[in-house]
């Protein structure tokens, strides 16, 4: 049974284990075994020692996995969660396919302009942010390194209600179907 590492910021949800179990059930129904980051056991550790234990556990799960399904829904800004982006890079360096989804369908420039807000944006076609840094615009949804990685699998987007931004699994399920069929 192919093994899938399940990356995404849903690990920060109050009901993260429930969402992880739901993802694993969708995987199992498609003949895939899902590894969820919270499968790590950190015991009574706290502070950096807990962090290093989680890091080592996630790295071991990624090395054992055959492919990645990454939740690249924008997280605290217009781009994907940095930890998930790390994991996309990790898996691509090992030559493992990356299937990605985002529960927001906007283009990257639209995401940045929305994040900057009306007060900060000189006009709707702004090409720089408030620091004067260019807004990447290659007709993609997120940073080109993430989208380039997903050429090895898929990059699916879906608009979902705000309250399900991090928990909606429709696009995830589409990734699973593609991954299982490939």
The verdict on 122 binding a second copy (CB under 8 A) reads: no
- DSSP 8-state code for residue 41: -
Q: Which of 6, 65, 100, 146 binds a second copy (CB under 8 A)?
A: 146
The verdict on 110 binding a second copy (CB under 8 A) reads: no
- How far is Cα of residue 24 from the mean position of the Cα atoms in its chain? 16
**Under DSSP, is residue 71 helix (H, G, I), strand (E, B) or coil?**
strand
**Under DSSP, is residue 100 helix (H, G, I), strand (E, B) or coil?**
strand
The verdict on 168 binding a second copy (CB under 8 A) reads: no
Residue 58 · residue 86 · CB < 8 Å? no
Q: Which of 64, 94, 120, 170 binds a second copy (CB under 8 A)?
A: 94
Q: Which of 122, 133, 161, 181 binds a second copy (CB under 8 A)?
A: 133
Positions in 43-82 near a second copy (CB under 8 A): 46-48, 50-52, 54-56, 58-59, 62, 75-82
Beta strand spans in 8-97 (E)? 33-35, 67-71
Strands across the sheet containing 67-71? 33-35, 3-7, 67-71, 98-102, 154-157
The verdict on 138 binding a second copy (CB under 8 A) reads: yes
Q: How far is the CB of 39 from a second copy (least distance, A)?
A: 16
The verdict on 13 binding a second copy (CB under 8 A) reads: yes
The verdict on 17 binding a second copy (CB under 8 A) reads: no
**Cα 101 to Cα 172: distance, rounded to the nearest angstrom:** 6
**Cα 10 to Cα 166: distance, rounded to the nearest angstrom:** 6
- DSSP 8-state code for residue 31: T
Q: How far is the CB of 83 from a second copy (least distance, A)?
A: 4
Residues that bind a second copy (CB under 8 A): 9, 12-14, 46-48, 50-52, 54-56, 58-59, 62, 75-83, 85-94, 112, 115, 128-129, 131-136, 138-140, 142-149, 151, 165-166
């Amino acid at each position: 049974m192919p093994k899938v590492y399940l990356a995404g910021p849903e690990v920060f949800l109050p009901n993260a284990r429930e969402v992880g179990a739901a993802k694993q059930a969708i995987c199992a129904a498609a003949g895939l075994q899902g590894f969820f980051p919270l499968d790590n056991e950190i015991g009574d550790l706290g502070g950096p020692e807990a962090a290093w234990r989680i890091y080592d556990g996630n790295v071991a799960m990624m090395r054992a996995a055959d492919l990645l399904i990454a939740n690249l829904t924008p997280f605290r800004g217009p781009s994907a969660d940095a930890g998930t982006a790390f994991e996309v890079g990790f898996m691509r360096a090992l030559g493992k396919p990356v299937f990605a989804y985002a529960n927001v369908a906007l283009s990257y420039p639209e995401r940045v302009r929305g994040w900057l807000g009306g007060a900060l944006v000189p006009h709707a076609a702004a090409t720089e942010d408030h620091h004067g840094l260019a807004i990447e615009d290659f007709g993609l949804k997120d940073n080109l390194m993430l989208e380039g990685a997903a050429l090895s699998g898929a990059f699916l987007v879906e608009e979902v209600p705000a309250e399900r931004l991090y928990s909606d699994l429709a696009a995830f399920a589409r990734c699973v179907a593609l991954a299982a069929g490939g």
